[in-house]
Structure 1
């Protein structure tokens, strides 16, 4: 048996933790489904033999999906933030999430079909909104505030003025 990670993110699902984990593993690099554990007995939201927990990794981050049922849902208070290097990578991750039953939100945020929030954040955006010149940072920030998926060319144009 392997030693578990010292700190693991536990995400609550309504019976579909394995489906979510397999989607993440197929979509993001350095991601995998590591183990599926089945309930040894009946529990409030499932029966003996149902997938109870799923150990998975999302871009190197150890996670545990718990099929806990409908009692709790996800909110934007938790999100995965993915730093992308170019528009192609930004589009690829955004489209994978949104086109798989997810939903667009504002300022580079989207939500997957399981309710997990994702920030698909180009490095160019992060650099622009933290520019040491306050006027540059404000222009980039204002441009971002008008977007759903981040458009790097628009951010760079705003940065240039």
Structure 2
């Protein structure tokens, strides 16, 4: 039986560069091993494999994303600014894409609590639909 399941991210030829980029952003992260074809790394303690292969051409999209539940606005700002730097792109509702094309959801850890009733959920959703990067205080006030 498998011990655990982990994602494999398929890059054209930037697997090690991407692993090092992510390890520089997240705590408890490190490159475990690297070869020209495969890089294994831990991202905040979670195992991820990155693969270099140009056939067939693959492109990431929002059908797969990583979710980062953040404790406060400072943490939201850190991850958002780091991931959108150097060619990353902001999207809506806490979603962004990094310079490699990986999608991320940078959200408050308390988002579920903020939407604990249908009435609260409606107000919070109305608030974050107007946002790119999440503004925690605005969501709390909604």
Q: Could you say whether these structures have the same fold, taking a TM-score greater than 0.5 normalized by the shorter chain as the test?
A: yes
TM-aligned CA deviation for residue 5 of structure 1: 5.9
RMSD, matched Cα: 1.5
Structure 1 outlier segments of 4+, above 3 Å: none
Distance in 1, matches of 2:86 and 2:79, equals 11
1:110 maps onto 2:96 in alignment: yes
Matched residues, number: 140
TM-score where L is the length of structure 1:
0.82
Which of 87, 94, 98 is residue 73 of structure 2 equivalent to? 87
Q: Highest CA radius of gyration, 1 or 2?
A: 1
Aligned to 1:144: 128
Unaligned runs of 5+ in 1: 38-50
- Answer yes or no: is the 8 Å Cα contact 1:124–1:156 preserved in 2: no
Which of 86, 106, 111 is residue 120 of structure 1 equivalent to? 106
Aligned to 1:23: 21
- Answer yes or no: is the 8 Å Cα contact 2:94–2:106 preserved in 1: yes
Secondary structure of the structure 2 residue equivalent to 1:100:
helix
Unaligned runs of 5+ in 2: none
TM-score where L is the length of structure 2:
0.93
